[in-house]
Amino acid sequence: MPHYTDSNSFIELSDSLPVIDVRSPGEYVQGHISGAINLPLFNNEERAAIGTLYVQSGRELAVQQGLELVGRKFGRLIEEAGQLVPGKEMLLHCWRGGMRSESLAWFFEKLDYKVTLLEGGYKAYRRFIRQQFSKPAKIVLIGGMTGCGKTELLHRIAGFGKQTIDLEALANHRGSSFGHLGQDKQPTSEQFENELFAAWNSINPAKPLWLEHESKQIGNIFMPDPFYEAMLNGILFKVHLPESIRIERLVKEYSGFDKSLLEEILVHLKQGMGTLQSKLAIEALYRDDFETVAALTLHYFDKTYENALKKRPVRVMHDIVLESADMELNAARILEFVKIKKMKYEY
């Protein structure tokens, strides 16, 4: 008989053993354990057909149909398992820890694999990780107006040995209206949560965790409520950088994209920027005057950021005025500021 383990132990074991997800490809894309490998027992169409049969004709016929479909796939499953699990020891799960995972575990154990099943399946895993985001954490945020280099500052701070999580990298989005440009397709909010948990679970809770100050929504994904509330309960270091440096950074970052893509975004921003400002920005775009485009959009984004900060303020905020375009130097100054202020925690 296969061995069952709870979500916490399953996650710990996944550091050293392959995780095999036997759900359909559609279920896997919607959300899966970080690093899990999809070895579907049924494809999307087969799963839907069996589900319909279960509703219309009952469990017995659905199980019979499922067994017939699986029987045709034994050869493929053996071949793929040999490639995915060379050590012949695996973690395996389906949606609720039911027939799909149990039947495959039985099959693989007959082939001398050692299989550990996830008790309650992926559904239990999702319930478990949501609870983990409520654990106490010492969160430090890097914030500021668009163009302040918050993401680069975060990376530089990581270079000084501090714990960080790059939320925008997990979301495949830079956070602004232009943030999708040059990025891969965004994950689902569910998968973002799974990847965020994997990063969250690897940190030392006794030490501060540095994050970029984000809104609850990054592109099309949403952060889990308890995690976002933990962010708002942290400490925000709000960076102030001269507008000239911010404009220079934005021009460098976005001027290489196709003008039609940039125009589409500027048209979309018309309601927030105002019709005239949007028109002037588009005209500047086609004159290759990217500095003017950046300056006009900055005025809109600055107001948006300040309004958002007023609506959802962070518990503690400190302003830091910087003058340099050197982000390595700026990161060092932020850390020095924290040291001088002798904050409650050792940041």
Where in the sequence numbering do the catalytic residues fall? 94
**Number of neighbours of residue 30 by Cβ within 10 angstroms:** 14
φ/ψ of 255, rounded to 5, equals -70, -15
State the DSSP H helix or E strand holding residue 237, giving kind and residue range, or none if neither: strand 235-240
SS3 39: coil
Beta-carbon contacts of residue 165 (< 8 Å; ≥ 6 apart): 196, 199, 200, 203, 209, 210, 211
Which of 194, 165, 168, 198 is CA-nearest to residue 181? 168
SS3 341: helix
d(CA 2, CA 302): 57
Q: How would you classify the pairing of strands 235-240 and 316-321?
A: parallel
Residues 41 and 104: beta-carbon distance below 8 Å:
yes
Q: Taking the C-alpha atoms of 225, 230, 234 and 237 in order, what is their torsion angle to the nearest 10 degrees?
A: -40
Q: Got the DSSP string for 246-289?
A: HHHHHHHHHTTS-HHHHHHHHHHTHHHH-HHHHHHHHHHHHTT-
Which of 46, 194, 30 is CA-nearest to residue 38? 30
Q: Got the DSSP string for 280-326?
A: HHHHHHHTT-HHHHHHHHHHHHHHHHHHHHHHS--SEEEEEE---S-
Residues 133 and 197: beta-carbon distance below 8 Å:
yes
